[in-house]
Amino acid sequence: MKTPRWISWSVDNPGRRYYRCPRALTAQDCNFFEWVDPPISKWYKELLLDLKSVVEKLKKNRGHAVVDEGREQHFEELQQVNQSLPRQLVIMDAQMGVKDTEMVKKDELLLNKDEELQKKVQELQAKQKELEELKLKMQGRTKGCSNFCGFICVFVVGIVFAMFFNGIGKQDV
């Protein structure tokens, strides 16, 4: 026997095809049942149920002028948005002008601070040169002093040796 293919429009399986015994819901029902399509996603279910309800509504209103109640409300909302856009743009332009002025002031402040920092860097570099010059002068004085001190030490040692050797030679005589 040939089994018919059906389409389910239940809430759980909208649009899902299946095979069912042709004698279903009778005393001769053999209880044959098999799904043709795999289970569908929740999103797809909601979409099909929404479309089904729209189709039923259109069928119900067939012959009557179909007016989408939400369409007029949506149109009015769009008009209000369109009317408010120029005001919002003026406000945003004013805000941007204030922000631009603030940014210019901040840029000027940063430039001034940068100039001050550059001056301080130059001052520090000049002081560093002065310190290097002083260091060189001190090293020159230290070298002269160390040479002089070395000369004095050699002279004193020489005198001590001379006295020591003169004193030893006089004791023998």
- Provide the residue ranges of all domains of the chain, joining segments of one domain with +: 5-66, 69-133
Low-confidence ranges of the chain (pLDDT < 50): 66
The pLDDT assigned to 148 comes to 76
pTM of the model: 0.34
Q: Which helix (H) or strand (E) holds 7?
A: strand 5-8
CA nearest neighbour of 86 among 77, 94, 74, 98: 94
- Convert 99-128 to b/e letters by CB count within 10 Å (16 or more is b): eeeeeeeeeeeeeeeeeeeeeeeeeeeeee
71-112 pLDDT tens trace: 677 777 777 777 777 887 788 888 888 888 999 999 999 999
The pLDDT assigned to 34 comes to 92
Give the integer Cα–Cα distance in Å for 97 and 48.
51
